[in-house]
Structure 1
Amino acid sequence: MTASGTGPVPQDLTVPVHGGGLTVTRWPGPGPLVIAVHGITANSLAFAAVAEELPDADLYAPDLRGRAAGAALPGPYGLAAHVRDLLALLDHLGRRQAVLLGHSMGAFVAALAAARHPERFPRVVLVDGGLGFPAPAGTDIDELLRAVIGPAMQRLSMTFADREEYLAFFRAHPALAPHWGPWVTAYVERDLTGRAPELRSSCVLDAVRADGADVLGDPEVLAAVHQPQVRGALLWAERGLLDEPRALYDAARVAAAGLDPDRMPARRVDGTNHYSILFPPAAAEVAAAVRASAPGGVGG
């Protein structure tokens, strides 16, 4: 069953990619194809609440290379590898096009995929990501990732005695605690691997570093959202990764980036932080943006 007991029941499938099989969660529906791309230390179940708001969409969300069920897939890592995996998924499904929904780092993947392959990914919905600001030259990637994503990076070097200790770590997260529920529990548990008393995150540190380096400094990645063939919408959260008032984006920074409002309209989702923008009730607003981007619309 889904987290709320309603909506499409998710199912996992395996897609052949370089080095093995890419595990993809599908929320089946009769409507347009949507591929959802998660953040740097996340997994496919980040999109469970959005999927419930899109019962008529056929929504697929991979566990990206180096995370959760994709942890065993080998390098090379980096955003270009994720783009290749998305193309492999689309080809495996026998489909020519899909709407891309990307959150956080996944939004950068979505923008890069659309910039390189607009005939396959004609529309994107970028959620609290995709619009980048390059890091200063010589920046230590690990140090900057710790500064930006905080506990998400911290947990990669931690072990946990049991499941409850692991869940307690997440329940203390200021951006997640107020929204704790079935969606969050299922999402964080998908990341857990190992055996007690040394349970740990499934995220591969080398994959996180490679992807982080691309988001923070790769010229093609940073330019992708500005390419004329990349069309869709950008939604940003009102608050930050730790639910702090300073968010990743604000109206001034978005305006300074010079996005074409006709090609990539941008708007804030009020009352949300970097994570809760994918949870109820904000999930409905994300779903509405996907619905507006899909050919022929997506039922709600």
Structure 2
Amino acid sequence: MTPTGTTPAAVSAGPEPLSFEELRVPVPGGDLAVLRWPASVPRAPTVLALHGITANGLSWGAVARHLAGRATLLAPDLRGRAGSSGLPGPYGIDAHADDVAVVAEALAPERPVLAGHSMGAFTAALASVRHPERFGPLLLVDGGVGFPAPTHLSPDELMTAVIGPAMDRLSMTFQDRTAYREFWQAHPSFADRWTPETEAYIQRDLVGTEPVMRSSCRLEAVRTDGIGLFDEDVLAAVRSLPVPATLLWAERGLMDEPQGLYDPGRLAAAALDGTGVTPLPAPDTNHYTVLTGESGAALVADLLLKSAGVESA
């Protein structure tokens, strides 16, 4: 478990990414890549943070900057993505949950705060239930609370309904890194919100050589994980948490549309009373910028520090 990398160069205006270490943690089938932003103060807490279904650990880069060294942040590339793309199956939310427990044992044995965005939030909830001795409080960022799947849809139809555009990207090729940047900059959720941290995050995903480059995400992993989000155990995890949790929900959706994944009506229907989950809105954010945007990342960092018992600045 030694450092093997630093942040790639960024080219856009905005905050510069912080340097990080890339560690390798042995898990079943090989090594999991884990990004680490170390704390700069003594006796600082540790946060273990999980990314979304087609993302990677650098999606937490803006949060790392806002933590400002007051906590160590660990962000793995989950099995089948970026630095962990070579790991074989079996995939699925339960496999990720068990991998995360191994990371906690190796790098954060004193029950870190556990956070997750989107699919990572469902993984965090299940990991907390399956391995309650490993983790402290939870922060679920625009995910973790689900709804039963429509019974008339096939698994492929479910995937199309939930993450169709993201799945399409995994089959695309790009001439070079500039083409990949331009593809993402055209995404409505990132319009006018591009930063060097966003650049570093999306470029970590790109593999291959010019003129045939592609996403590092393994299609089999993404498909298995997406279908797994509707598994009964995954949906039930948020109702069996052994620790308190905050659900930070974005006001807008995956394509920056007005309807987000959650709203007061949907949260009321989810009946979270008695679960220990406290919903909290993140104003003026969408599904992506609740994590990567300035206001979203600052709010996430503040909530992580409060969960760890650290007074925010």
Q: Is 1:49 aligned to residue 62 of structure 2?
A: yes
Q: Is 1:20 aligned to residue 20 of structure 2?
A: no
Give the deviation of 1:176 after TM superposition: 1.2
Runs of 5+ unmatched residues, structure 1: none
Q: Percent identity at matched positions?
A: 53
TM-score calculated relative to the size of structure 1: 0.94
Q: For the structure 1 residues 112 and 244, does the alpha-carbon distance in structure 2 shift closer, same or farther, using more than 3 Å as the test?
A: same
Give the deviation of 1:166 after TM superposition: 1.3
Task: Name the CA distance, whole Å, in 2 between partners of 1:227 and 1:253.
Answer: 20
List, as ranges, runs of 4+ consecutive aligned residues in structure 1 with deviation greater than 4 Å.
none
Task: Name the CA distance, whole Å, in 1 between partners of 2:147 and 2:109.
Answer: 34
Deviations 1:201-244 (A, max 9, x none): 010011011111111x2111000111152421000000000000
How many residue pairs end up in the alignment? Answer: 297
Greater shift after overlay, 174-183 or 258-267?
258-267
Q: Is 1:158 aligned to residue 172 of structure 2?
A: yes
Q: For the structure 1 residues 147 and 204, does the alpha-carbon distance in structure 2 shift closer, same or farther, using more than 3 Å as the test?
A: same
Aligned partner of 2:103 in structure 1 is 89
Task: Name the CA distance, whole Å, in 2 between partners of 1:250 and 1:81.
Answer: 30
Aligned partner of 1:141 in structure 2 is 155
Q: For the structure 1 residues 299 and 10, does the alpha-carbon distance in structure 2 shift closer, same or farther, using more than 3 Å as the test?
A: farther
For 1:262-273, what aligned pairs fall within 5 Å after superposition? 263-273=276-286
Greater shift after overlay, 227-236 or 154-163?
227-236
Q: Could you tell me whether the CA contact under 8 Å between 2:16 and 2:196 is conserved in 1?
A: no
Q: Is 1:280 aligned to residue 294 of structure 2?
A: yes
TM-score calculated relative to the size of structure 2: 0.90
Query: SS of 2:26's equivalent?
Result: strand
Aligned partner of 2:220 in structure 1 is 206
Q: Could you tell me whether the CA contact under 8 Å between 2:144 and 2:238 is conserved in 1?
A: yes
Aligned partner of 2:266 in structure 1 is 253
Query: SS of 1:225's equivalent?
Result: helix
Greater shift after overlay, 115-124 or 237-246?
115-124
Aligned partner of 1:63 in structure 2 is 77
CA RMSD of aligned residues (A): 1.8
Task: Name the CA distance, whole Å, in 2 between partners of 1:70 and 1:90.
Answer: 17
Q: Is 1:218 aligned to residue 231 of structure 2?
A: yes
Greater shift after overlay, 109-118 or 87-96?
87-96
Deviations 1:181-208 (A, max 9, x none): 1011111000001112210001001101
Deviations 1:11-65 (A, max 9, x none): 1111011111111100000411110000000000000011111121011000000
Task: Name the CA distance, whole Å, in 2 between partners of 1:259 and 1:288.
Answer: 23
Aligned partner of 1:241 in structure 2 is 254
